[in-house]
């Protein structure tokens, strides 16, 4: 069996650290809402990390679209812009609306994702980009509040799991070109 050099082993460890989430959690949950937070580090500058984020159709999971085709997603990253999806048969879905866009620094959107869209819920998703050693720290928070008869304690961990999957796909896309 061939032995790896110590520098090759460190390279593998560093690659594993760069491709694993630094933090993923349900920050809080109550009967009237919840907040989830995902943090990753990507191995590029904030401008490229931003460009990858807004190219959402390249990294979002097709399993979490109405059309089952992530390429049908598009994001117009300017105030009032739409994170929308084109459906077969000329239909469409507005997932989120851009509230604030400062390329390479912050993107804030409003809207209920997935099952939240059918509820009396207001939700805000915020992506921030901070310089970090060997790249950029990217944080995504999603805070939702409003009315759901049974509250949000059961739904928050599910939303967290789905968003964690998307943020990890985004991180892999930025770091490798493949989600």
Contact 179, 173 (CB under 8 A): yes
What integer pLDDT is reported at residue 24 of this predicted model? Answer: 75
pLDDT band for 17, please (50, 70, 90 cuts): very low
Q: Are 53 and 170 in contact (CB under 8 A)?
A: yes
Give the tens place of pLDDT for each residue, 45-100. Answer: 999 999 999 999 999 999 999 999 999 999 999 999 999 999 999 999 999 999 99
User: What predicted TM-score, i.e. pTM, was given to this entire model?
Assistant: 0.87
**Is the pLDDT score of 2 beyond 50?**
no
19: closest CA among 157, 172, 169? 172
CA–CA gap between residue 149 and residue 32 (Å, rounded): 9
Which pLDDT value is given to residue 5?
A: 41
* 8 Å CB contact between 94 and 74: no
Q: Taken in order 56, 120, 101, 88, is the CA torsion positive or negative?
A: positive
The yes or no reply on domain 22-176 and CATH 3.40.50.1110 is no
Element (H, E) at 169: helix 155-176
DSSP state of 78: S
pLDDT at residue 153 is higher than 80:
yes
Domain boundaries, the chain: 22-176
Q: What angle do CA 20, 24, 25 make, to 5 degrees?
A: 165
Query: What pLDDT does residue 22 have?
Result: 52
Name the more confident of 157 and 6: 157
pLDDT in tens, 96-147: 999 999 999 999 999 999 999 999 899 999 999 999 999 999 999 999 999 9
Tell me the pLDDT band of 11, cut-offs 50, 70 and 90. Answer: very low
Give the neighbor-by-neighbor strand order of the sheet with 106-110. Answer: 23-30, 33-42, 135-147, 120-132, 106-110, 91-102, 82-87, 73-75
Which residue in 1, 37, 56 sits closest to 128, CA to CA?
37
For residue 21, pLDDT beyond 70: no
Pick 19 or 33 by higher pLDDT.
Answer: 33
pLDDT at residue 74, as a whole number? 98
């Amino acid at each position: 069996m061939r032995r790896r050099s110590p520098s090759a082993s460190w390279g593998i460890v560093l690659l594993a650290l760069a491709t694993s989430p630094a933090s993923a959690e349900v920050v809080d949950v109550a009967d009237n809402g919840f907040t989830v937070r995902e943090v990753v580090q990507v191995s590029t500058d904030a401008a490229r990390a931003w460009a990858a984020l807004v190219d959402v159709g390249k990294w979002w999971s097709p399993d979490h679209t109405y059309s089952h085709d992530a390429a049908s997603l598009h994001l117009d990253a300017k105030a009032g812009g739409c994170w929308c999806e084109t459906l077969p048969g000329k239909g469409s879905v507005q997932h989120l609306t851009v509230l604030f866009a400062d390329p390479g620094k912050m993107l804030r959107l409003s809207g209920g994702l997935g099952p939240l869209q059918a509820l009396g819920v207001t939700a805000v998703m915020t992506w921030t980009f901070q310089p970090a050693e060997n790249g950029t720290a990217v944080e995504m928070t999603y805070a939702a509040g409003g009315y759901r008869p049974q509250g949000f304690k059961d739904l928050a961990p599910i939303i967290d799991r789905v968003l964690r999957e998307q943020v990890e796909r985004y991180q892999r896309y930025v770091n490798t070109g493949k989600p």
